[in-house]
């Protein structure tokens, strides 16, 4: 089944403890991206990647890192998480990143930073 | 700063049409307009998208204003399963913003039996 898989589904951590949220897609998509969703603010793009080794900042990249070493995976790294990064995170992919393509979203990762 | 704005909430009765508006007054000529919906505890799900012409698919219709500064998602006959948050999204198509997305704040659609 074609899908975008995020892990973990839920994560509770403490301030400053490095963490990684994984995102994997099995559709051979070139484009992948990360979003955070917060009450009253909706969804905001964090980073996106047009292809392997190509990443760019979205609207809210501060405090996050990404890497794209292989096509199927696009992990989101929080090197020193803070409470304001408590949020619901989504990963998405599309075939080549063209604006005419639909996006496929994962089921989300609920992160709590204490 | 580019803005995509939607009403916070709308209500409809089952079996009636629903028109969900979105304003994207700063849209450029090559940006696409997408609509997604999100059910509780799920990721956003694609509904429809378009550039200039009105679009139809099995889920909905998308009406795009002639000046492209606004669009309307049309659900022809709302069902209880259509109750969700609907997001209007502008997908950049030009220059250094290629690959960027700007979400509206979403419209919570309530469907009454």
Three-state SS string over chain B comes to CCCCECCCEEEEECCCCEEEEEECCCCCCCCEEEEEEECCCCCCEEEEEECCCCEECCCCEEEECCCCCEEEEEECCCCHHHCEEEEEEEECCCHHHCCCEEECCCEEEEEEC
Residue in A33, A31, A24 with CA at minimum distance from that of residue A5: A24
Contacts of B99 in chain A (CB under 8 A): 31, 33, 48, 50, 56, 97
Rg of chain A, C-alpha, whole Å: 13
Mean pLDDT over the full length of chain A: 96
Residue in A93, A84, A10 with CA at minimum distance from that of residue A41: A84
B30 and A77 Cβ atoms separated by less than 8 Å: no
pLDDT single digits (tens) A55-103: 999 999 999 999 999 999 999 999 999 999 999 999 999 999 899 999 9
- Rounded to whole angstroms, the Cα distance separating B103 from A45 reads 8
Residue in B94, B6, B100 with CA at minimum distance from that of residue A60: B100
Q: Going by DSSP bridges, is the β-strand pair B45-50/B32-38 parallel, antiparallel, or unpaired?
A: antiparallel
Beta-bridged to residue B100, according to DSSP, are: none
Q: Select the residue of A42, A90, A106 nearest B106 (Cβ to Cβ).
A: A42
Q: Do B46 and A106 touch (CB under 8 A)?
A: no
Per-residue model confidence (pLDDT) at position A2: 86
- Kindly indicate the confidence band of residue B1, based on its pLDDT and cuts at 50, 70 and 90: low
Is residue B29 less than 8 Å (CB to CB) from chain A? no
pLDDT single digits (tens) B21-69: 999 988 887 889 999 999 988 999 999 999 998 999 998 999 999 999 9
Give the pLDDT mean for B3-7: 91
- Rounded to whole angstroms, the Cα distance separating B21 from B16 reads 16
Tokens describing residue B30: 């090559």
B72 and B7 Cβ atoms separated by less than 8 Å: no
Out of A8-12, A37-41, A47-51, least confident range: A37-41
Mutation target vs A (from B1, B28, B32, B43; most A CBs, 10 A cutoff)? B43
- Kindly indicate the confidence band of residue A1, based on its pLDDT and cuts at 50, 70 and 90: confident
Mutation target vs B (from A99, A106, A109; most B CBs, 10 A cutoff)? A99
């Amino acid at each position: 089944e074609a899908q975008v898989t995020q892990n973990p589904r839920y994560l509770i951590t403490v301030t400053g403890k490095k963490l990684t949220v994984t995102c994997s897609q099995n559709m051979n998509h070139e484009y992948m991206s990360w979003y955070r969703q917060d009450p009253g603010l909706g969804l905001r793009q964090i980073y996106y990647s047009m292809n392997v080794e190509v990443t760019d900042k979205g609207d809210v990249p501060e405090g996050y890192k990404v890497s794209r070493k292989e096509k199927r995976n696009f992990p989101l790294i929080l090197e020193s998480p803070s409470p304001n990064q408590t949020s619901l995170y989504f990963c998405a992919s599309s075939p080549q990143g063209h604006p005419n393509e639909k996006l496929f979203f994962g089921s989300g990762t609920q992160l709590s930073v204490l | 700063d580019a803005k995509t704005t939607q009403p916070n909430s709308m209500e409809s009765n089952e079996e009636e049409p629903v028109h969900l508006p979105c304003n994207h007054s700063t849209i450029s000529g090559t940006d696409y307009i997408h609509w997604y919906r999100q059910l509780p505890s799920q990721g956003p799900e694609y509904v429809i998208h378009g550039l200039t012409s009105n679009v139809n698919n099995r889920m909905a219709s998308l009406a795009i204003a002639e000046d492209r500064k606004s669009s309307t998602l049309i659900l022809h006959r709302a069902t209880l399963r259509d109750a969700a948050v609907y997001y209007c999204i502008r997908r950049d198509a030009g220059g250094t913003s290629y690959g960027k997305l700007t979400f509206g704040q979403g419209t919570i659609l309530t469907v009454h039996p």
